[in-house]
Amino acid sequence: MTRQENNPPPTPELREEHLQAYKFFERLHGLFDALRPCARHFNRKLHFDEYALGVLFYFFNPAITSLRGLQMATGFKKVRKALGIRRMSLGSMSESVRLFDPDLLASVFAGLVEDASERKVDRRLHGLRQVLTVADGTILPALPRMAWAVWLHETDRGAKAHVQFEVCKDTPAHVEVTEGNASEARHLEASLEPGRLYVMDRGYVDFDLFREIVEADSSFVVRMNSNTVTETVEDIPLSEEAEAAGVRTDRIVRMGWKGSRKKFDRPVRFVEVHVPARRPRGLAYPVKKVSSKKGFRRERGKAYTLRIATDRLDLPADVIALIYQYRWRVELFFRLLKSVLGCRHLLSDSIEGVGIQVYCALIASLLLAEYTGVKPSKRLYELFALYLQGWVADDELAAALAKLRRQEEKRAV
């Protein structure tokens, strides 16, 4: 095979007929008005609100695959009219983004989250008296030239999105973008709020963090490591509901060795849940280290035991197991963020640009949910994209959305 045959095919030329979503963006005028004063200068033609609208337009147009493609799209009159922006130069888009403050977009996002409606969840979660919030982080692959994004080794680059995900609204409530090796526990500790029930995986096992959560008038449900040292204070008999949920032991314990500084100074509920073996679906991933954690992924499909700790002594064991089961919602969101909303490919090399892209992706998902009344998913995104292109009629869209709502309600029962 010759060298020429090894080269990838050239990218097709972007044309105006390849683009879509014009009628959707007619509803968004004024959404980003608060961004206009940011980094204002008498000779600057590109403003923050224009850049944010352009990135939002990128999410709904699969034909745009890069920053250069987005810049080319702003040269079309129809695009400029629909977005209410001017033509952007590639140099301005690359350089001025370092001057824009992502926290202003975070304020826009927070307002949309506040207005978001709650989704249907298991009725046993309605009496928690706290906002069920999953805390987790995910790595967004970065280019080698992004020196600030060092991850595991010098050759690895990645930005980390620290997410606090509200289960009942099925949307993130707080997001922060940092370098890849930033501590998830420390970033959660710095953004704690009262009245929340934080659900966390083993990467957040930190007794200092647990103390901070309790002192912030919140609570935690966390998966503990298999080598966690406990001292049993009381054994709690298992109810029929707990046994049906796979609970094997339910105890009130003290965590940590008494001769060590690493201990938690108050009793906690310690629940062990048996997860049966299941036939794996899809392609298996290699067994390797995860992020900067010392543990290894378990082999797929095999049975294992979940060890869950919580300071909520009043909750039944089956509800504690159910709460941790809902932690998986944030993993589904990460898949949506990367695979559907395009955050697997970063448009900017700067940490400010990555933060802007992530917040625009979150805003896009909230607007999609508001417009359709269905929680964002890959199926919804595909359906909406076809509708915006004119391939789906209004009545067909309504019927498809009604079907998606029925499926959503069925899964929540």
Q: What is the pLDDT of residues 145-186, one digit of tens each?
A: 888 887 777 777 889 999 999 998 889 999 999 988 889 999
User: pLDDT at position 310, please?
Assistant: 96
Instruction: Please tell me the predicted confidence (pLDDT) of residue 250.
Output: 95
Q: Give the model's confidence band at 27: pLDDT under 50 very low, under 70 low, under 90 confident, else very high.
A: low
- 144-150's contacts with Cβ under 8 Å and 24+ in sequence apart are 145/349, 146/349, 148/179, 148/351, 149/179, 149/180, 149/351, 150/179, 150/180, 150/181
Three-class DSSP category at 260: coil
Q: How many CB atoms lie within 10 A of CB 351?
A: 18
Confidence band (pLDDT; 50, 70, 90) for 270? very high
| pLDDT > 90: percent of the chain | 30
Tell me the pLDDT band of 60, cut-offs 50, 70 and 90: confident
**Cβ atoms of residues 210 and 220 within 8 Å:** yes
CA gap 252, 271 in Å, rounded: 9
Note the pLDDT of residue 131.
Answer: 94
Report how far residue 345's alpha carbon sits from residue 349's, in angstroms, rounded to the nearest whole number: 11
Question: Worst-scoring range by mean pLDDT, 45-49, 121-125, 137-141, 148-152?
Answer: 148-152
Read off the pLDDT of residues 377-411 as tens digits, 9 standing for 90 and up. Answer: 888 888 887 887 778 888 898 899 888 888 877 76
Which 8-state DSSP code applies to residue 16? G
List the end-to-end C-alpha distance of the chain, in Å, as a whole number: 57
Residue 210 has pLDDT above 80, yes or no: yes
Q: What is the pLDDT of residue 381?
A: 84
Local confidence band at 292 (pLDDT 50, 70, 90 cut-offs) = very low
Instruction: Kindly state the percentage of the chain with pLDDT values over 70.
Output: 85
Report the SS3 class of residue 221: strand
Above 70 in pLDDT, residue 289?
no
Which pLDDT does position 1 carry in this prediction? Answer: 43
**Strand positions, DSSP E, 292-341:** 304-310
- Give the mean model confidence (pLDDT) for residues 262-287: 78
Judge if pTM exceeds 0.75: yes
Contacts of 178 (CB under 8 A, 6+ apart): 159, 160, 162, 187, 351
Q: Is the pLDDT of residue 339 over 90?
A: no
For residue 79, pLDDT beyond 70: yes
Does 102 have pLDDT greater than 50? yes
Can you give the pLDDT at residue 196?
Answer: 96
